[in-house]
Every structure is written in structure tokens, then in C-alpha cells.
Amino acid sequence: MTTIEITPNIAEVATARCGDGHGTLTPLFFSDDIVDIARAKAICQRCQLRSECLSGALERLEPWGVWGGQLIENGRVVLDKKPRGRPAVLPRPTLVIDEDRTIRAIANVDEMKEYEVAIRVA
């Protein structure tokens, strides 16, 4: 009997952008800071495994963190992380952030690029 061993082509195997092998990005994905959360979401925006990551996290009922570009709390997707303390009196500005932590203000969400994430600052 002949045994054929199939080895996957390394170029075809997708790897998560957050998996750097050293865990240096882990604090971003489990932070309470809205800028860190936005940065983690921006990293996920360019990841090929975004949908698989999100569906896996929802199946496992992950308690918190950014998974697949979405913020999860208590096993469910939430839109915004509410800041601590009293609500702001004045309207919050809309900012966008990319994975390099570059922040800029925008007047309209349509001005965002596909790899940026919109955040509201308290």
C-alpha cells in the first residue's frame, strides 16, 4: 500500500493578524480603553479570518474582548463600550482610528476608509 502525504502550501494557509506568536497584541483585544478597542477592531478589518474568528467566539460564548472585529461582552456583540462615569453633557466628536493608532476627526462616517474604525470619545 502506498501512503501519500499531503502537505499544505504555506502561502495558502491563512494566519490571523493578531496572532504574532508572542502575545504582544493580546492587551489590545482585552482592554477597557476605547482607543485600544478601536485599534484592535482596525487590526481585524484587514484580517482574512475575521468571520471565522467572530463565529467561533460567539459559539464559545466568549465573555469579553474584540473577536473578528466586533466587541463582545457576555457572549454577545455590543456596539460601543460605555465609558465609566456620568454621560457627557456635550455631544461627543466622531473620530476614526487605524491599526497604527492614528486618530483623526471626521464630520461624516462616509469619510472613513475601509481599514479605519469610528469611535466616540467621552
The pLDDT of residue 72: 93
Domain definitions of the chain by residue range: 23-120
Beta bridge partners of 119: 95
The pLDDT of residue 10: 46
Average pLDDT in the 16-34 region? 82
The pLDDT of residue 37: 86
H or E element at residue 65: strand 64-67
Average pLDDT in the 89-103 region? 66
pTM confidence score: 0.66
CA distance 92 to 106: 12
Average pLDDT in the 68-81 region? 87
